[in-house]
Amino acid sequence: MVKIYPSLLSADFYNLERDIQKVKDIADGLHMDVMDGNFVPNISFGNPIIKAVKENTNIYLDTHLMIDNPEKYIDSFSKYSDSLTIHYEATNHLDRTINAIKEKGIKAGVSINPHTSVYLLENILNVVDSVLIMSVNPGFGGQSFIEYSYDKIKSLKEMIDMKNLNVNIQVDGGVNKDKIKPLYDAGATEFISGSAIFKSNNPGKEIKLMKEQVKWKISILLHQIITN
């Protein structure tokens, strides 16, 4: 199933409630980018914002910890998140940290930066729920999509299929309605999009347009299966 998660980082922080209302009924959740100014060259927001959104909406919260030593913060962030994603590059004990997240009863994901090979994840795939491919260098919204991300997604999809695993592939960075179809074709099923959604005139309509790109592709595939 294809899912779209608008990134709150690109919303209007002076009008967060307004922007969340615009997307909550059509989005599959909100993507919460937590930045510490060390792992990435930016500082965003922390648990108070996530807690406030969780306590005032029913929307799924997909929290992405772009922070050093994420294992120190699993207890606090798991309280208000439905899934937690940590970076391969940010912890020395990835397996232990992933399992600590799952022990909290929420989904666990691992993310890799553009320079990191997907093949480094081979031995961790059997314990994660998702892999987040960063298709920009993390830290700031509105960056241009890195084209070799397609090849990384294809390679990751092949690894997942070879192991017969149920692991979702997420993509974050430069994602818009023109990128959805080729990203889906490469193997991604969950898409994080910030500027393309929140900077549009109609964020809800933008999400709908994104989903329609993939629905069209799925309809063609189903037709081919039935006719053959």
Residues acting as catalytic residues: 33, 172
Backbone angles phi, psi at 41, to 5 degrees: -80, 50
Question: Measured in Å, how far apart are the chain's first and last C-alpha atoms?
Answer: 23
Cα 134 from Cα 12, distance rounded (Å): 23
Q: Is 222 exposed, middle or buried (0-12, 13-18, 19+ CB in 10 A)?
A: exposed
Do residues 89 and 106 touch, judged by C-beta distance below 8 A?
A: no
Q: Is 158 helix (H, G, I), strand (E, B) or coil?
A: helix
Report DSSP state, residue 146: P
> What is the maximum alpha-carbon separation in the chain?
54
Cα 48 from Cα 52, distance rounded (Å): 6
